[in-house]
Amino acid sequence: MKLNPFRRERRAKVAIRHFAYFNARVLAMRAKLLPKETYPKFLQMGIPELARSLGESEYKVAIEQLGPKYRGVDLVEFSLNRNLATTFHGLIEKAQGELQSLLMDYMRYYDLENITTALRGKLSGISDEDVEEAIIPAGSLTDAQLKRLIEASYDDTMEILRKMGYDEAVDLITDLPLPEVEDHLIKMYYANLLEKTSGGSKNMKMFHHFISIDIDFMNLINFLRLKRDGTPPTKVMEYMMPGGAQLPHKKLKELAGLDMEEILTRIEGLAYFREHQGALTGEKDSLTALEASLLKFQLNYAVREARQNPLSILVVLSYILAKRVEVANIRNIVRGKEGDLPTELIRKQLVL
């Protein structure tokens, strides 16, 4: 499986002084992420208050731009999208050479997400304008390309996608239901990233390592969900993504035959959780809380590794993860509030 846009290009090695510059900027940006104490406050606020409060932080520009057009949940969600895209775009613009091309590849995730969002919009008849705001233009597709994608009819979309080089995606889309297409696209995305970064410079290797950790945690969460739903082991394995760092395919296969209790004890033995014995077992009963704490472990692990390699690509990767977590947290809060979920339930979803 291969997506055409992933062309292997040779890029200049990145000088240490560029990492010093770039990572200092990233660290300054990380210092501006919302502090932990903000979330309990958000939980007490109404949605307009929350939106206003966001408008006093790094989300200021997005809230100001969308403020006249949208209200309530839409305003917050669309501002989050816009901010995420400008932030990540900014990162790519500030980076140079190999660092830049790796980040661009990493951000192609949003291309796939945007394609599926656009298709879903077409299938469910959401207005083009709303689809446009739901899109996160952080990937490699330009605004013009995205606009064409959104405005085209379903059949034209396929044609456009082919032109953009997503032939295989189109073949999938015509054969499979959308959720499975999504799953396949993500698998393609990771497989390509892994292939592209195998071997190569020190930063390539670190990137590779980071991706394989990403895969581990994605697998873990999917694995636990599937197991909870009582999916048979062989079926579970179909959804697993190969290439994990500490949970390769073989190990997952072993786990798939066990029961939940046993699985969790085994998982706790992984290096990610070594310093926090018992942290997972306490959360067993609720999968929501368990997923949140898994994400937290991934984030902590990434931050720890970044700290050990302050002049490497890991710094920006851990920032990207942290930024995504922040956006997901806010999204969970507003969605929970919109759906009138009890505060305690929303809190369980938060990665703090």
Partner 1 sequence: MVDIGVGYGMIAIAAGLAMGLSALAAAIGEMAIGSAAVGATAEDRDMFGKGLILTVLPETLAIFGLVVAVLLWLKIP
Partner 2 sequence: MGLKAEPMTRVLIVVPKDKVPAATSALYDLQLLHVHDHVEGRDGLALGHPLKGASVASEMLIRLRAMIATLEIPEVTVDMRRPITSLMEELEAKFDHLEHEIETLGDNRNRLRAETRNIEQQMKNLEPYISLGLDLDVYRDYETLEVIVGNLTGDPWKVLRNAKIPFELFKAKDASKTGLFALFIEQDRTDEVRAIIGEFNFTPVPSFEGKGDPRTMRVRLKEKLAKVNSSLEEVELDLKTIRKVHGESLFAAEEHLSIQIEKAESPLRCGSTPNALFVEGWVPTKRMADLEGTLTDAVGDSYHIEVLTDEELTGHSTAAVAADGGEPTSEEEEEAEHFDTSKETPVLSTNPEGFKAYEYLIKLVSTPRYDEIDPALFMYFTFPLFFALMVGDIGYGITFIILGFWMLNSKWKGVGIVTGITRRRLTKMIMMSGLFTIFTGLMYGEFFGLELFGTHGLVWPHYLYVPALDVYLPINRLEQAMLMINLCIYIGIAHMIHGLCLGIVNTNHHHGLKHAILGKFSWILIIIGGYFVFRILFTADEVVMTEPVMMSGLILMITGIIMLIAGEGGGGLLELPGIVSNILSYTRLFAIGLSSLGIAMTFNTLGGIMVSKGGAMIIVGLIVAFLGHFINILLALLAPSLHALRLHYVEWMTKFYTGGGREYEPFGRERIYTEV
Q: Does 37 participate in binding partner 2 (rule CB under 8 A)?
A: yes
DSSP state at residue 13: P
Q: Among 1, 12, 24, 260, which residue interacts with partner 1 (rule: CB under 8 A)?
A: 24
Per-residue x/- mask for partner 1, residues 31 to 50, rule CB under 8 A? Answer: xx------------------
Q: Among 3, 6, 14, 22, which residue interacts with partner 1 (rule: CB under 8 A)?
A: 22
Per-residue x/- mask for partner 1, residues 310 to 339, rule CB under 8 A? Answer: -x----------------------------
Footprint (CB under 8 A) of partner 1, residues 286-315: 311
Tokens 């945690």 belong to residue: 217
Least distance in Å: CB of 316 to partner 1? 12
- CB of 190 within 8 A of CB of 2? no
State the Cα–Cα distance between residues 251 and 220, nearest whole angstrom.
12
Q: Does 179 participate in binding partner 2 (rule CB under 8 A)?
A: no
From 128, 52, 38, select the one nearest 62 (Cα to Cα): 52
Burial class of residue 236 in the structure, from the number of CB atoms within 10 Å of its CB (0-12 exposed, 13-18 middle, 19+ buried): buried
- CB of 111 within 8 A of CB of 140? yes
The piece of 26-34, 61-69, 185-193, 214-222 that touches partner 1 (CB under 8 A) is: 26-34
Distances (CA, A) of 73 to 47, 86, 116, 314, 328: 7, 20, 22, 33, 14
83 binds, among partner 1, partner 2, none (CB under 5 to 8 A by kind): none
State the Cα–Cα distance between residues 75 and 151, nearest whole angstrom.
22
Least distance in Å: CB of 294 to partner 2? 23
Q: Among 25, 122, 147, 266, which residue interacts with partner 1 (rule: CB under 8 A)?
A: 25
Q: Does 64 participate in binding partner 2 (rule CB under 8 A)?
A: yes
16 binds, among partner 2, partner 1, none (CB under 5 to 8 A by kind): partner 1
State the Cα–Cα distance between residues 170 and 190, nearest whole angstrom.
18
Phi/psi at 7 (5° precision): -90, 140
The piece of 12-20, 67-75, 238-246, 263-271 that touches partner 1 (CB under 8 A) is: 12-20
* Cβ nearer to partner 1, comparing 24 with 352: 24
Contacts of 251 (CB under 8 A, 6+ apart): none
State the Cα–Cα distance between residues 186 and 190, nearest whole angstrom.
6
Query: Rule CB under 8 A: which residues touch partner 1?
Result: 16-18, 20-25, 27-29, 31-32, 311
Query: Rule CB under 8 A: which residues touch partner 2?
Result: 37, 40-41, 44-49, 51-53, 55, 61, 63-65, 67-69, 71, 75
